[in-house]
Structure 1
Amino acid sequence: MVEIIVQKFGGTSVGSVERIKRMAQHVIREKQKGKEVAVVVSAMGDTTDHLTKLAGEITAHPPKREMDLLLSTGEQITIALLTLSIQEAGFKAVSLTGRQAGIRTDGVHGKARIKGIDPTRVREELRRGIIPVVAGFQGITDTGEITTLGRGGSDTTATALAAALGAERCDIYTDVDGIYTTDPRVVPAATRIPHLTYREVLCLADSGAAVIHPRAVFHSKKSRIPFRILPGLIKGKGTLVDDHIHITDRGPVGVAFKDEVASISMKDAAYGLESLLKESLEVIHVKPDLHWKGQDLTLTVDASDRIDVEHLLRDLGQEYSEKVEQAKVTIVKSPGSDILRFGVRSTLGDSGIDVSSIHEDPEKVTALIGSEDIYRAADVLHTFAGLDASGAKRVVR
């Protein structure tokens, strides 16, 4: 049986016609190796931002349904242009919208989740020797409504499609040459990590690492289909993510950070409030960090989700206080690592960084700080964790 490869190209990689032509060569090279290739693409460059701005010139509060219809057009431009580029090079290709590719989602506009993919159409194109070029970031509900998947939606489309096809692997082409111990634009001493486990990448992504979305990792982890983060426009070896790895030194993995976070606290919280909040927020796809301190419950959410959380708490008649303009910085570690919250707090304090709260679990230590200190905190914690020179020692089985 011919092996299937799914390739995904992000907005920067397809940011111009010239770049689209270059990405077509990535596709063609895999095809020439005898692979069946399915492609997923994002909108070109800042197309999504441009479309959002257009809507904002008409209304300050556009309905999410109409925004999904508008934003989904960005990927349709890219699939057509990339398909034309592949055809011009002498290979057969066809562009497919999310609906045509069988991508079914729930009905949460703006951040829908993929319920399933019917790969019949994509498989048929592959069987006929045609390269399907699929629009990422979008799908369709059971009632025919167009939805978008939110931030990282095209990555999620790619790994979900790889799972549905039983692909050999999924290659995600970006503007970086792999996953680093932290953002190298912020911490120049960061180093590329050649090989990570699904758990490690999921924890990094959940904690704010922007190189891939947690939902994309979820689909790969569930299907056990490896994926690679690869550079689309520069030379580099990238990062392989699977579970065929043995960690000999159970130390820190990386430092992730997330700006524009809100912290919402409830004093003397009632028993059962935590589970009620989790269940209610899951319906609208809001994933909070929840922590108890005595009888007080604190949840941390992206600032963009704060209004939804406030509405829910008011509906529940729950009093709360909140801090905005917050950020969180996280050391992701292997279970058993001796990185402790006390060391993190003292390290940040010695650097003059105020810590609002700090939480630890077997996989990470997270500090909540002011947004103005986020980059400095990432830098000092990267050094504290011993990541400046090298990461954990890893041996591939």
Structure 2
Amino acid sequence: MSAQDGPATDGDWLPLREELRGVEPYGAPQLDVPVRLNTNENPYGPSAAVAADVAEAVRAAATDLNRYPDREHVALREALAAYLDADTTAEVGAAQVWAANGSNEVMLQLLMAFGGPGRTALGFTPTYSMYPEYARGTSTAWVTGHRTEDFTLDLDHVRALVAEHRPSVVLMPSPNNPTGTALAPETVDVVCEAAAQAGGLVVIDEAYGEFRRDGTPSALDRLPAHRNLVVTRTMSKAFALAGGRVGYLAADPAVCDALRLVRLPYHLSSVTQATALVALRHAEELLGRVAELRGERDDLVAWLRAEGLDVADSDANFVLFGTFADRHRVWEGLLGHGVLVRETGPSGWLRVSIGTPAENAAFRDALTLTRKEL
């Protein structure tokens, strides 16, 4: 079999953990179609000038690849702190910043340090589908609350679940994936206060934070008020660095100290650190398309609603829309017209990433044709 076929299935003989048997690995479909709008990537790649700077930085790093990288990634943490300072009313120092191979590894390290057997993590569905997998991978019990009909949170429900289960980690994306819904500042305060009484951390996952609408604050602003607050970010989306695999967090320095206990030795390669530093030096250029993508998102929301569809308010670079009696048929119809979206979230809903104007137009045409055909 080829590597593209996926893992072999003859593994019944393996001493696999029982909770992993029969489980499918995470992953969105990777299909060769003209328009791919299913993984929330930035459709605009780095410019030739940025790519050349990355290549030069990697070339320089390559001359020293016989040596281990800076395991404390000090220069990168300093650069990330400076970037975050411009996006918050709080002051963020390098001692408060930690980076890893994508925000996925950041989350996994958090669960390794603060979860584990006999401990609980809490989330509220619909939410990012990897959260239960982080919990499962670290033998952390996963408890699921629910969101209201408009995908916001009932704070009484939040307080009750935190008091009942006393989670060591509460995972909450803002903007939420797959709905795009952002958390209000008062919600962050309530959750942090409830979790503090239970002795737990609150992790606000801001993977799509740069795409939030004007007037929507970042949870970074609440860091000085809550010692148990952790805010995670990624360079995959707004920075168009999905292939670079760089995620990071801002939190109390004690959180970063704890993650040093579970990180793998030299977990962030010299090449990764060099690439991320170049991206941060070109932040103004790389983030220059964010406003355009936000405008395209808002236009698409308006169009979908004008077509009579339900659409969740979005502060991200994607839109959740529906509802369909058979969403899989709609997904297949779009695919038949060369457009790949994501079949995720609550029953009846689909999620589409924001692409270029041409890609967004192709999606609108494909959806119009698909609805006529069904």
Superposition TM-score tier, normalisation by shorter sequence: under 0.3
Higher helix share: 2
TM superposition score normalised by structure 1:
0.26
TM superposition score normalised by structure 2:
0.27
Considering Cα pairs closer than 8 Å and 6+ residues apart, tell me whether 1 or 2 has the greater RCO: 2
Higher strand share: 1
